[in-house]
Every structure is written in structure tokens, then in C-alpha cells.
Structure 1
Amino acid sequence: MLFAPAAFNLAETSRMIEIAKGVRADPVAREAFSVRFISEGGDFEELIESNGFEVERVAPRLTPEKIAHVLAVNDEEKFAPAYSKKEMIAKVAGDLAAVDRLKPDVVVTGSYLSMPLTCRLRGIPLVWAVQSTWLPDFFATGAGTTDTVKPRWFKRLVDAVLYPVFRSWMWFGFIHSVNQAAGHYGAKTFSPVLTFFQGDTTLVAEPPGFSDVALPDAHFPIGALLPEQQFTMPVEVEQIPNDFPLVYFAMGSSGVGHIVKELIESFRGKPYRVVAPVRSLLAGQDVAVPDNVTVTDWLPALEMNKRADIALIHGGIGTVLTAALAGKPVVGIGMQPEQVANISCLVEKGFARRVAKSRNSRKMVAAVHDALSTLLSDEDARRAAVEYAASIQDWADGSTRAARTLVDRYGSTRGDIPRSARNGR
């Protein structure tokens, strides 16, 4: 079983590690599969190895500049393709050399962009780990951005206008170069665009009912994939006084640096203390960190959420479900459509507020502090957060369900692999 994370993204890498740990911990899965990882580069390759897994490093390697470009496209900071046709062809060539050497029976990915085409070319079954906010039905109904539009007929009209916009963004930024590479290699292209995210098996990394999207065939809800014991709590966090409400400000590894800087500086003089594991996002910037803000490297996120009174997050599925499992209100600033959609799912549950990402930083910062102030004094929101947390505790361990699903689907012999996968669907 070959795991293919985008190792420059902490949340994505952590999800792959947690599934692999579930396979390793389950006696039947451990007997069925040996586990390897593949990576084209990124800061979190060492995290994979520190969890006891081998990493096959493939060429061409992603440079820091290329990783920054891909993240900027993903966060809508740049309107450009993440990869050129030439780059994607080279990426697929590197993948093919690796899979021909390793001969995996199944590949698991979450956002390794060239791997779906690589699997199609070699007839290897592909497992996606996604969330329902990646699925076509969610984008077709506004991706959470039109929930407040009234009346219903006008919402449907707005949704119909937005859907091609979402698809065009995904096609131009990510899928077009993959389809160009598919043409180069003589393979079937991914059309419609969002079929790119449909594996032979799809692990939906969220609890049932997180969104109102009905899951298609071969989509299996597994619950949250949250990292366990990867990081320790810094001494400076342990020493924070308990004199004001505590805000946990987390933007993952893909948050936009200038937005993080503006928010950090805006906490000066505010009536709360802030813990912000955003040091890597502030690199290279001159930031005036206020006395009531503690900036750190990565933290044990679930434990930190439980200590905090409220979470201010970017809306990645990991940050959203960590806050939800901790039973804390959420203020979310999505950097891109999927994150906006994830936050909207908590808004619908009554304990979150969504703030639009904006180039008008003064307006955005004011909206963030208004939302924080409102939620910190909202007893109904706190009660809704606690009640939702209690309702999903049985879905906190997605790694175990993922391992069992993979055993059920692929754990016997290659002859049991779905025919569609062997035919390179």
C-alpha cells in the first residue's frame, strides 16, 4: 500500500500518516499490507519518517519556490496554473518510475496532484481521502457560500451561476495540466473536472452529517483523521495566565502569511490572550507581536483546542474537526473554496461565524474581532458546540475505520481488486 501525500502540507501529510498508523495497528490490515510512502518534496517528509514509515523520494523534487507557488494558487493569492504541462509530464514520469519499482497494489492519496493519472496509466486502484465539501453536489449547491441567500429560487439561481466558476477555478489551477499530461501519455482525461477526485474507493474523513451531501457509491465516512502525539506543548504556553479568554489561532501550513501577520498585530490591546502556532507562516516578515500573543511552532492541536475558549482557524478539515471535537466555538477565514465550505458546515450547526477573506484588511480584521467578541459571549453557541462534540465522539478515530475499509476493499489478493481499477478507469 503506497501513500502519496503532498508532504509540503501538514494537514494532508498528517491524514496520510494517521491512515497508515491505522493499518499498522490493525492486525488484519498489518497482515494484508506493507506500507510505504512516496514524496516529491516538502518539510513534512521527516514527520513521516519519525512515525516509522519509509519514504520513497521521487524526482523531480519540488523546490521551496515551487511549493510557495502551489500554495499561493491554492489560497487564491495567484490566478495561475499550479503546474505547467511540462512540469506535470515530468512529475508523472517520476511517479511512474517509482511505482514500477515498488509495484503497489493500491495507492492512497489526498492531494498529490499527478498520482491519479499515474494510477490510471498503470491500472492501480486509487483511494482518495477527502471530505464531502470536495464533492460535486456540494459545489453545485453553493459550497456553503449561498446559505443565507433568500428566497430559495434566487439561491438556486446564484448556485447555478457559481458552479461553473468553482469548476473553472479547479480546472485552470489544477486539473488542466493533468489532462494535458494525460494527452501526452495517451490516457483518458478527467472530465467532467470534478471526477478527478473520484477514486475507486473514497474515504470521507468526517463524521456522518458533517454536511448535507449524500455520499455516492464507494464513498465511506470514516470520521476525523487527527494527528496524535506528534508535537508537545511548549513551556511558554503552559505559563500563560488564566486571566482573559484564550483564543487558539491556527492557520495550518497553508495560511496566507500577510493575513496571519495582520491578524497577529491586530490582537494588541484586545481583552483576550492568543496562542498562535503560526511561526512558519510569519517567516521573512517583520511582525510586531503583541504582549498578549504567544507565537509558537506546531502544537498538539486537540489538547490546545480543549484549553482554549474559542478557535480562530482557516477552515482546513483538520482544524475544523479538531475544534468541533473539542466542543469550541469557531471563527473561520477560509483561504480557498473548500475551507470556506468546511466552515459553513459549522455555521449551520450554530457555533461558528465565517469571515470573508478580503484584500481590505481593515474590514476583514474588524469582522474577525466582532465575530470573536460575539461568540465569546454567546451561551447558545457554546452549548451547541458542546452538544455537537458529544454527538461525534464515536467518530474521532478515523484511522481505525479507514484501515478496516481498506482491508474490506483490497485486503485479500490482487484478483479481488475492483475490475474498474484494473482497467484504469
Structure 2
Amino acid sequence: MMNIKETIIFAPETFNLAETTRSIEVAKECSHVFHCIFMGYSKKYSYLIEESNFTFIHLEPHLSDKQITQIMNVDQMNGIKHPFTYEHIKERVQNEKRLIKIYQPVSIVIGTTLSMFISSRVCNTPLVYIKPLAYTRPYFEEGYLPSPFTSMNLLAATIKKLFISIALRITYKPKSFTKVAKEENVSLPKYTIDALDADYNLITTTPEISQVYNLPDHYQYIGPVYAKLDVPIPKFFDHLPTDQPIIYFAMGSSGSPNIIVKLLHILSELKVTVVCPMKRMIKSQLHKLSFNENIILCDFLPAHKISKFIDLSIIHGGEGTVQTACLTGKPFLGFGLQQEQRVNINQCVRFGNALSFRKKDFTKARMEQLINHALSTRTIKEKALEIQQVLKDINGPENAAKFLIKHFTVT
């Protein structure tokens, strides 16, 4: 007798590369048990889903490039206007409900697909959120807060306590969400931080890095989940110079083209070779750019396969990018574009395998100093190897799949 697979809907925000690839990696690990389908509101990275042989359903309202930029700006605290109007959320929820009714999934796995916090509850479908620990209730209650809260003096301790108290008690939720939730007879949690929790929260780090060892029952560590793009290593890696450091420089899908270009110009003046898979990100500016020959621009790379070629990474603080850098066993420099990314970087700074930098460091002298310090400091290099050992045998996608199979396989 042939068993009919139950369905799981994966609903990352498909304009976000990290969320999209994270969902793909988990789906690959459980597709032998479940029928895995994907939905999203942007086609920006949907081709990666289809190339992985999963069905992608594009729902309305479609997110335009302008709206995606608005979301990114709010996320990075560079703006306050977001596209999630009442009409937008209302249409999302209606179309999500329709999709759930058609496919009857045993679970929905999300990234920051906020409308699903309403739709899943309306349909009584368990919601699983694969996410970082940063800026969750367990993080604020037990976690390490980066600067300016690291000083041990009384003032810093008092400010830290007040900051945590406020963060745990904020009740703000966009009016569009609360209005649609009320119309759907869905009760959202009182506090903002709890409203961003799903029924189950799979945390994509390890306690050795987060230093948070006690999680609530609806939380579980699964370990790193990051992109493993099935593309070959380009031939140019076989011909890289051997007389100067090789730097991998990537800023993820949330990277700013202007920041990427500015750093590339600085790096082009240093005695380093830079491999930068950000060609797509800065394509609108390529016609007016000119770099020295030590800058190699390309498209997506299998970042998890190039550790033997590189000496150092320069990255933004997206958790998957940070973890990929950690798994190279080489130091990295991190430039966080928003608070969660700064937390991810600072956890590694605290561990000892990374250095952080800000816009004030965007000078030739300062970047040269940071690179030389990371490459010449024995303890940083030793810590880079140590964190590689911590993470190398943890299969985050497999752990997530085991969770889904255990909780949602119908026997």
C-alpha cells in the first residue's frame, strides 16, 4: 500500500536570500517524508527553489523592488515606512488561508513572513519559525548584550537592566496586523517580542556561541542552517595569487550596493586579493566602476566549499553568512547592517574568532590595520579553528527535519 505524503508549506520571505536558502536546505532533508511546497510574495530568489526541484507558488500581493527596499530600510533602522498596509495584510491573509485550505498542510515553516502569524492561527495549523536567537525573549532574559552594555560599571549595568525591561514590555504591533487579526478573530500575544514567536521556534545557533543554555519548551536549538549552493567552484580559484592574503567579501541580500562599492574601492588599494560574489548586487553601477585587478567580482559562490582558498572573510552579520565564515576555520571581519546582525558578529567577537567594524572604519589605513591584526594574531586564528570544530559536525537542516518528522508525521 502506497503512503501518501503529508504536506508542509515553506513560507520564507523570498526576497531574502538567507531565509530562502535556509528553507530549501531544510526541505531537502525532509522531502523523503513530506510533500514540500513553497510560497512567497517575491520572485527574487524563487528560481533557487525551483532549481532545487520544489514547487513555488507566487502569491499576491507581489512585493515590488521599492517595497522590498522599504522593508530593508525599516529592518536596518534607515526608515520607518513599510509596505504592510491594512489592504496588503488583508490580501495576504486571504490568499494564505486559501492556500492552506487547498493543501491542508500538517505544518507551515516560515522566516519573517509576519502575515502567517495570523493565517496559521485562523486555520489551526502549527507554525514553525526557523530563526536566530537574537532579540527573542530568551535572549533578552539570559543573553549577552553587545556594546554599550558590556562595561561592568554601575551606570552601564543600570542602563542594561532598563533596556532589557523595556524590550520585554513593548506592546507595539502595526495597526494593519492588529486590525486584520481582530477581523479574523485571532488573538495576538500582548508583548511585541512574544508576537514574533511561533508555536515552535527552531534556533539556528548553538549554546556554545549564544551562551544561553536554558530555552523555553517551544524553543529548540538545531544549529547552523545556511546556503549550500550546488554550483561549481570557479576555475579562477586555481590561479589566485599566492603572495598576498585572499579575502572573501560578501554582504548577503540585505547588503547596500553603496557600502559594497565603497569597501571594494578601499580594498582595491590594499595588498590583498578580494573575491566578491556581489556582482548581481552592484550590477546597476558596474558600467561606471573601475577597480584594480586584485578585485575579482563574480556571482553566487559555493561559500561552504572555498575555505581552503581564503585567509579571511569580510561579511555583514547575517547569521548564515557568519556561520559559513566560522566553518572556514579562518578569522572574519564583520560589519552589521542592523542590530540582529551586530549581535551575531559580537557573539563571535566575544568567542574570539572575529573583529567588528563600523562606517567610521571605512578608510584604507583602518581596514589595513584590521586585516593585518586578524591575520597576524595567534589567538584569533586559534579561536577561528576552535569555532570551526564546535560547528563542523552539527547538521542544522537535518536536525530541523528530524523535528518536523517527529512532530508532524501522521501515523
TM-score, normalization: structure 1?
0.87
Matched to 2:119, the amino acid is T
Output aligned runs, 1:23-422, within 5 Å: 23-24=30-31, 30-31=32-33, 33-139=34-140, 144-146=145-147, 149-163=150-164, 171=172, 177-213=176-212, 214-285=214-285, 286-356=288-358, 358=359, 362=362, 367-395=366-394, 397-412=395-410
Matched to 2:208, the amino acid is G
Paired with 1:391 and 1:345, the residues of 2 have a C-alpha distance of: 14
Paired with 2:48 and 2:403, the residues of 1 have a C-alpha distance of: 25
How far apart are residue 15 of structure 1 and its match? Answer: 0.5
Name the SS of the counterpart of 2:26 in structure 1.
Answer: helix
Matched to 1:117, the amino acid is I
Q: Taking structure 1 as reference, are residues 71 and 238 closer, same or farther at Cα in structure 2, changes over 3 Å only?
A: farther
Matched to 1:254, the amino acid is S
Paired with 1:169 and 1:337, the residues of 2 have a C-alpha distance of: 17
Paired with 2:143 and 2:153, the residues of 1 have a C-alpha distance of: 12
TM-score, normalization: structure 2?
0.90
Contact 1:330 1:351 in 2 (8 A): yes
Paired with 2:266 and 2:65, the residues of 1 have a C-alpha distance of: 29
For structure 1, the residue ranges without an aligned partner over 5 or more in a row are 25-29, 414-425
Corresponding residue for residue 421 of structure 1: none
Paired with 2:365 and 2:159, the residues of 1 have a C-alpha distance of: 27
Contact 2:14 2:45 in 1 (8 A): yes
Paired with 2:272 and 2:89, the residues of 1 have a C-alpha distance of: 47
Paired with 1:15 and 1:265, the residues of 2 have a C-alpha distance of: 31
Paired with 1:39 and 1:96, the residues of 2 have a C-alpha distance of: 14
Matched to 2:55, the amino acid is E
How far apart are residue 13 of structure 1 and its match? Answer: 0.5
Matched to 1:250, the amino acid is A
Q: Please give the per-residue CA displacement for 1:281-308, whole angstroms capped at 9, x wherever unaligned.
A: 2132243323211111110011224421
Contact 2:26 2:400 in 1 (8 A): yes
Q: Taking structure 1 as reference, are residues 82 and 162 closer, same or farther at Cα in structure 2, changes over 3 Å only?
A: farther
Q: Taking structure 1 as reference, are residues 361 and 388 closer, same or farther at Cα in structure 2, changes over 3 Å only?
A: closer
How far apart are residue 398 of structure 1 and its match? Answer: 1.1
Contact 1:265 1:287 in 2 (8 A): no
Contact 1:324 1:388 in 2 (8 A): yes
Of residues 26, 45, 50, the one that matches 1:19 is 26
Contact 2:171 2:191 in 1 (8 A): no
How far apart are residue 140 of structure 1 and its match? Answer: 5.5
Matched to 2:218, the amino acid is A
Q: Please give the per-residue CA displacement for 1:223-265, whole angstroms capped at 9, x wherever unaligned.
A: 2113334232223344322221011111111111211111011
Corresponding residue for residue 422 of structure 1: none
RMSD in angstroms over aligned alpha carbons?
Answer: 2.4
Paired with 1:165 and 1:233, the residues of 2 have a C-alpha distance of: 47
Paired with 1:56 and 1:233, the residues of 2 have a C-alpha distance of: 31
Paired with 1:247 and 1:110, the residues of 2 have a C-alpha distance of: 30
Q: Taking structure 1 as reference, are residues 305 and 74 closer, same or farther at Cα in structure 2, changes over 3 Å only?
A: farther
Q: Taking structure 1 as reference, are residues 296 and 161 closer, same or farther at Cα in structure 2, changes over 3 Å only?
A: farther
Name the SS of the counterpart of 1:253 in structure 2.
Answer: coil
Paired with 2:176 and 2:83, the residues of 1 have a C-alpha distance of: 8
Contact 2:248 2:276 in 1 (8 A): yes
Contact 1:19 1:403 in 2 (8 A): yes
Q: Taking structure 1 as reference, are residues 288 and 144 closer, same or farther at Cα in structure 2, changes over 3 Å only?
A: farther
Name the SS of the counterpart of 1:37 in structure 2.
Answer: strand
Corresponding residue for residue 3 of structure 2: none
How far apart are residue 167 of structure 1 and its match? Answer: 7.3
Matched to 1:340, the amino acid is R
How far apart are residue 272 of structure 1 and its match? Answer: 1.0
Q: Taking structure 1 as reference, are residues 257 and 361 closer, same or farther at Cα in structure 2, changes over 3 Å only?
A: farther
Contact 1:142 1:159 in 2 (8 A): no
Name the SS of the counterpart of 1:34 in structure 2.
Answer: strand
How far apart are residue 143 of structure 1 and its match? Answer: 6.1
Q: Taking structure 1 as reference, are residues 164 and 84 closer, same or farther at Cα in structure 2, changes over 3 Å only?
A: farther
